[in-house]
Amino acid sequence: MNCPYCQSDKSHVIDTTHDARGGIRRRRECEACEQRFSTYERPILASPLIIKRDGTREEFDREKLLRGMRIACAKRPVSASEIDRMVGEIESSLQKLGRAEISSRIVGDMVIGHLKEIDLIAYIRYAIVYLHLSDLQAIRNEIDRLLEV
């Protein structure tokens, strides 16, 4: 592991913690410049191809999902670690399905489910795009449906 400060490859591990998804966080100290930094290791499992609405296929992109959820949660009381946790759970769920290809609808439904539990405004923001809520009446109907529960 190269030091992000001086690029030296000499460092030692100070602390190691494990998370629920099988990842490992290591706190390291560079032997050359004595700066401390963290690394995160997670297993790389085969990610499925996502079948888009138009029939095209693309690799699952964790960063793209993270960006979309961050946009939906912008200026909302949802922490970055909470968003990262949700993305990790979605990615893990997709890998556990064990399928080579998965419809983008399944991914979208997972995102909608998580956002609905965490923040209803973020849910509505995401739903406007995902559910194609193209006019105010459609958005109002979705809000009314949320308020009934």
d(CA 43, CA 19): 12
Q: pTM of the predicted model, to two decimals? A: 0.65
What single letter denotes the amino acid at residue 139?
Answer: I
Domain extent listing, the chain = 11-41, 49-148
**Distances 84 to 32, 63, 124 between C-alpha atoms, Å:** 32, 10, 19
What is the full per-residue pLDDT of the chain (149 aa) written as tens digits?
899 999 999 999 999 998 766 679 999 999 999 999 999 887 666 778 999 989 999 999 999 999 999 999 999 999 999 999 999 899 988 888 888 899 999 999 999 999 999 999 999 999 888 888 888 888 888 888 888 86
Lay out the sheet containing 11-18: strands in order across. 11-18, 24-30, 36-41
Q: What is the dihedral of CA 54, 114, 61, 69, to 10 degrees?
A: 90
- In degrees and rounded to multiples of 5, residue 107 shows phi and psi of -65, -45
Reference 83, options 122, 38, 130; nearest CA is: 122
**Distances 52 to 39, 60, 101 between C-alpha atoms, Å:** 33, 11, 10
d(CA 96, CA 111): 16
What single letter denotes the amino acid at residue 22?
Answer: G
What single letter denotes the amino acid at residue 114?
Answer: H
